[in-house]
Amino acid sequence: MSRIIHLSGEYLPSNEARIDVDDRGFLFGDGVYEAMRALDGTLIEGDAHLLRLQRGLAGLEFQLHPAVDSAALSSTCLRLLELNDLKEGHALVYLQVTRGVAQRSHHFPNDPVQPTVYASTTRFTPPRELQENGAAAITQQDQRWKRCDLKTINLLPNVLAKQHAREAGAIEAILLRDRVVTEGSHTNVFAVLGGVVRTHPRTAEILHGVTREVVLSLAGAAGLPVEERAIDALELPLAEEVFLTGTTTDLIPITRIDGRQVGSGRPGPFARMLLERYLALMRDAAPFPQVLVRSR
């Protein structure tokens, strides 16, 4: 049976959905997206994801439209979980909004057009083996633009970086702007240095990861010293631990970088404790602590 997706107001089998060739998402990558987890029919940190989507729409200067109202998008996602029989267990929810359909020209359409909204759900298997045993990563230069805080569908540098990691037998590419560790191709990067949990600060150079915020708050609550300060590539070989966070990752310890062992070569105590607490929070399916909506 084909899965049911949502496309601009309609629920229909994915193989019947059609995107207009003049859609600005297709032509220009003119849109934003979110990837969310659901557990037993509840969106994990749904509000934080939808808030980030709204910030992305504002960042791309989208006009306000009822089709992209957060409450409407949230009910669409929940309805899809129901329609696809995903109200139990782990699921991944994908949500994408593009500027809509208009004759091709770089500038925004002259007359307001309805944004294209696409949402889909799939069953998800958490990467438990990697979480338990750790995994390898590579480093590579960060070739992206200067607004990485916007979760746009322009993902070519991320796609290339992840492909290079795969070809090297690694699960992720840790991106470097010159020598500064920014983030991974689809994850945020943490290191433990001198007993301090460090990660890049919330600037335009990184995506402000929802999982990153939760893990930072868990580290703080556990009494671990935490610092949002960029990690220099030269510090990586000195790190006691390195780990990644993200919606499809939860938290995965990195035990090798560019073929070199990190710390003991096994998942470290901080990563193991934070993973355990993170999974417990998710299992409770209770709302995560309200640390996510930090105003700037």
Q: Catalytic: 151?
A: yes
Nearer to ligand PDD, 117 or 207 (CB): 207
Nearer to ligand PDD, 84 or 247 (CB): 247
Q: Which residues bind ligand PDD (CB under 6 A)?
A: 35, 158, 183, 186-188, 207, 209-212, 245-248
Among 87, 146, 151, 162, the one annotated catalytic? 151
Q: In the bound complex, what is the minimum distance in angstroms from residue 152's beta carbon to ligand PDD? A: 10
Nearer to ligand PDD, 115 or 246 (CB): 246
User: Nearest 5°: phi and psi at 201?
Assistant: -65, 165
Q: In the bound complex, what is the minimum distance in angstroms from residue 290's beta carbon to ligand PDD? A: 16
Structure tokens at 122: 């799939």
Q: In the bound complex, what is the minimum distance in angstroms from residue 69's beta carbon to ligand PDD? A: 21
Spell out where the chain has E strands. Answer: 4-7, 10-13, 31-39, 42-43, 90-98, 116-123, 135-141, 172-177, 180-184, 188-193, 196-199, 226-228, 231-232, 241-246, 250-257, 260-261
Spell out where 194-288 has E strands. Answer: 196-199, 226-228, 231-232, 241-246, 250-257, 260-261
CA distances from 122 to 40, 61, 174 (A): 13, 30, 27
Distance of CA 268 to the CA centre of its chain: 23
Q: In the bound complex, what is the minimum distance in angstroms from residue 212's beta carbon to ligand PDD? A: 6
Instruction: Enumerate the active-site residues.
Output: 151
